[in-house]
């Protein structure tokens, strides 16, 4: 159940961050409200996740997945450059999360 809540937290964080892009510096009401609501949901679900999943594991997955997915969204949908350095950086983030979780597995 913890990893299901963690998945929800990741999804909420991704939606909140995407909404922030469209809030135009918090000058547009609905995207701004979507940002705030998304982060409230993300942190609430992350807090519930921490009841059953180690904080190092949960936070590494939450932040790493959010970073990787937002970078992909930026490159695919928002017109950001898909440079070799950016793609390598995303791969390193993913590898780092995997190594942290393998190192902490018992």
d(CA 31, CA 25): 10
Q: What is the pLDDT of residue 5?
A: 98
d(CA 78, CA 36): 21
d(CA 62, CA 47): 12
Q: Residue 51 above 90 pLDDT? A: yes
- DSSP letter assigned to residue 13: H
Q: Residue 104 above 80 pLDDT? A: no
Kindly tell me the sign of the dihedral angle through the C-alpha atoms of 66, 68, 14, 105. Answer: negative
d(CA 74, CA 69): 9
Q: Grade residue 34 by pLDDT with cuts at 50, 70 and 90.
A: very high
Q: What is the pLDDT of residue 1?
A: 92
| Predicted TM-score (pTM) of this structure | 0.91
């Amino acid at each position: 159940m913890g990893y299901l809540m963690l998945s929800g937290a990741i999804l909420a964080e991704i939606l909140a961050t995407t909404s922030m892009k469209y809030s135009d510096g918090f000058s547009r009401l609905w995207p701004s409200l979507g940002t705030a609501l998304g982060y409230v949901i993300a942190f609430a679900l992350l807090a519930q996740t921490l009841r059953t999943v180690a904080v190092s594991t949960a936070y590494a997955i939450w932040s790493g997945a959010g970073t990787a997915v937002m970078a992909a969204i930026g490159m695919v949908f928002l017109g950001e450059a898909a440079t070799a350095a950016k793609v390598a950086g995303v791969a390193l983030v993913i590898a780092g999360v995997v190594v942290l979780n393998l190192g902490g597995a018992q």
